[in-house]
Each structure stands twice: as C-alpha cells, then as structure tokens.
Amino acid sequence: MYTKRREKLVSLMKKSSIDMAVLVPGPNMYYFTGLHLKQSERIALAIITKDEKLYFLMPQVELNKMDTQNSNATFSYSDEEGPFHALQQLKQQIGLLGIVGVEFDSMHVKEQRTIEGLTYEHLYDIGEVIRELRINKDSNEIQLMRQAVNIVEESLKATLPMIKAGISEMEVAAQLEYEMRRRGSEGTPFGTIVASGYRGALPHGRASTKTIEAGELIVLDFGSIYKGYVADITRTVAVGEISPTLEKIYSIVKQANEAAIETIKPGITAHEIDETARAIIQNAGYGRFFTHRLGHGVGLSAHEEPYLMQQNKVVLKTGMAFTIEPGIYVKDVGGVRIEDNLIVTEDGYENLMTFSKELINL
C-alpha cells in the first residue's frame, strides 16, 4: 500500500521536476511510509527520491518503531551527537540535487535549517502535489473512518446521561475523552469543545470551568483518531427547557445541515454546497451569525482538503471526505452547530454518522 502511494507521488514529482521530497512527522509521513511519529525537538525526516528510493534521518530513540525492510537506508543519531553527522552520510548517499520538495505548511524552521545541510538549488512546496493524492480516500481509508465515527457516536451516547445542571464543561469533556479512549481512540485531533449557554456563541469554545445551567444549549464538538484516521462530530443538546429563540436557531441549523447534505454528489462544487446551507440561514435572518465555512475535509488530519466554502470552485469527486457543519452563534445568547462526516459516492453520498439530529433535552 505505502509503496504504491510513493509510486504515485514520484509520478507527480517528475511532472514538477522535483528531485526529492522531504516529509516531516505527521499525516504525510504516515500516509507514504506507515511511520507514525510526532514532531518534536528531535529531527526526524523521511526522504523519497525521484528514483523511488526511501531514506530516513532518524533519532535512535525512534528506531524501534521502524520497519527497516521498508527503506533503502536509515541514518540515525544519538541525542548527544545530534543529526549533523547522519545528515552528512545522507548527503553522500543522494548526491547533488536540483529541486527539493518540502511541506511548507508543516515543516518547522529547525527542520528546514537541518536540510540546508544538503546540496540543492531551491525548495519547492510539495503540499499541493500531496493534497492531490490524499484528497480521494480508498476503501480501506473509508473503513477506518467508519470505525473512528463509531467511536465518537458510542462515546457521545455513553456520556449524555451524565450531563446535567451543576456539572462543569471540563467534566463533560473528560468523560467524552475517557469514553473514546475506552473504545480505542488514539487521542483527540483537537481540543474538545464543550460550550454551554453564552459560551455556545464561541465556535471554538473549548471546555472551561463554567458550570452548566438549566435552560442552556451545549455545543459538543469532539473527535477520535483510529489507526491515524479522524472522526469529527458536533451535536448540540439542551439541558431542560430552552427558550423559543434557541429552539428556532436549532431548527434553522438542522434544516441547513440536512439541505446541504442532500446536494452532495460528484460534479457539484464546494461553493454550491456551502451556498445551499448559507442561503437557508440568511433567509431566516441569521446570516451574519454564521461566521465560518460550511465544512472541511477529514482523513488523516482533522482539517484538510476539500474545504466547503464560498468561492471554492473545487468539483467533488468520488472518495472525497468532508464535514457538513453549519452553525449560528449569537453573542450573549448561545450557539448551535450540527456536524456530520460525509463521503462522496458514485451516485451521491454516504453519511458516516447515524447519531440523531433531533434536539435532545437532557
């Protein structure tokens, strides 16, 4: 699987005259090599050359994670000696280079300064080339995403009974994260959002020490990671009876979510889907309170291509995966967001999420 992915990458590299791709720890390194690392103060690089060779520059502490048969050579270093000598060995192996592709949106300055020890003409942002490969998910990736979705849905179901007036947002977040871990999540792809009452007007209102009160809506936005793949769900629930205004806002967002989903099919643009949801919210008089794009791609990253937003003319194709998450956020009143994870199919879409979108009163 990883070999075939690298072959596709090399094919695109050749079209752009890229001699070598340098990947840092993160989704792209995992996608092309199967090596799952996090960026840290220790330099770790995967190098893919135009002749389809794979090299690693790696701290010794990470060597046990590697399948040495998967690469042509690994150049390692200890904490005491640092990466300089290993980099020189790598340099001797690969020789002179013209264009080196790097991840401009992921590479740290320290990592870039390290590869300046190689001999090349200039750096090229290889991000667009990689995004072209990762944007369409294969059947194996989609199955892993289904598993990640199952984790978030079952964890939400297990957590709802403990939510009540008098507990804090932090307690709810802790329970959600505990339930996800119990079900196999490798962690959270972003800070868990539990935003109750007036804090619901914060689209990124991560859990605080605020106490939940009766009559409030709570925006619950959280994610799981299963074998590298992310699920990202948002549901908004009520604690006790809520005001007619909040009920109206909830109904509008639900309608926008469902209408946008029904438009999904190959050939439609990201802009058109966003516009479908946005028009419903605008026509209801809440347009200025919908302050973000409709959705974002999801896969090995919580946010990736395609982005469903105004003016984005990208055409949907089979295998694209993304969220649909309209929202309304009214300062000092509250907020509502409802989010599903979708896959574009040959004749429409598959909604990976089955959790009810009817308003739940706890």
Strand order in the sheet with 193-196: 193-196, 216-226, 229-239
* Number of independent structural domains in the chain: 2
What would the DSSP string read from start to end of 47-93? EEETTS-EEEEEEGGGGGG--GGGSSEEEEE-TTT-SHHHHHHHHHH
My answer on whether 300 and 204 are in the same domain is: yes
pLDDT at 303: 97
Residue 244 lies in a domain: yes
pLDDT at 95: 86
99-102 vs 122-125, strand pairing mode? parallel
Q: Rounded to whole angstroms, how far apart are CA atoms 216 and 200?
A: 9
Residue 112 lies in domain = 2-134
Q: What are phi and psi of 352, to 5 degrees?
A: -70, -15
Residue 320 lies in a domain: yes
- Answer left, alpha or beta for residue 187, where phi above 0 means left and psi between -120 and 50 means alpha: left
**C-alpha closest to that of 20 among 62, 48, 55, 45:** 48
CATH of the domain at 94: 3.40.350.10
My answer on whether 49 and 109 are in the same domain is: yes
My answer on whether 175 and 282 are in the same domain is: yes
pLDDT at 84: 94
For the chain, where are the alpha helices, taking DSSP H only? 2-15, 27-33, 84-94, 109-115, 127-134, 139-159, 169-182, 244-262, 270-283
Which residues of the chain carry a pLDDT beneath 70?
68-69
Q: Rounded to whole angstroms, how far apart are CA atoms 77 and 86?
A: 6
CATH of the domain at 206: 3.90.230.10
pLDDT at 68: 58
Residue 362 lies in a domain: no
Neighbours of 359 (CB within 10 A): 18
Contact 8, 76 (CB under 8 A): no
Residue 287 lies in a domain: yes
3-state secondary structure of 329: strand
pLDDT at 138: 97
Residue 299 lies in a domain: yes
pLDDT at 11: 96
Query: Domain end: 113, 134, 155, which one?
Result: 134
Query: Domain end: 134, 168, 202, which one?
Result: 134
Query: Domain end: 134, 168, 189, which one?
Result: 134
Residue 169 lies in a domain: yes
Residue 359 lies in a domain: no
Q: Rounded to whole angstroms, how far apart are CA atoms 339 and 257?
A: 8
pLDDT at 90: 93
My answer on whether 222 and 172 are in the same domain is: yes
Residue 361 lies in a domain: no
Q: What is the mean pLDDT of the chain?
A: 96
My answer on whether 125 and 189 are in the same domain is: no
My answer on whether 160 and 56 are in the same domain is: no
My answer on whether 88 and 162 are in the same domain is: no
Q: How many helices (H) and strands (E) does the chain have?
A: 9, 16
My answer on whether 96 and 179 are in the same domain is: no
Tokens found for residue 54: 């794979």
Q: Rounded to whole angstroms, how far apart are CA atoms 356 and 323?
A: 16
My answer on whether 57 and 159 are in the same domain is: no
What would the DSSP string read from start to end of 228-255? TEEEEEEEEEEES---HHHHHHHHHHHH
pLDDT at 17: 94
**C-alpha closest to that of 202 among 184, 221, 188:** 221
- End-to-end CA gap in the chain: 46
My answer on whether 199 and 327 are in the same domain is: yes
My answer on whether 148 and 129 are in the same domain is: no
My answer on whether 197 and 313 are in the same domain is: yes
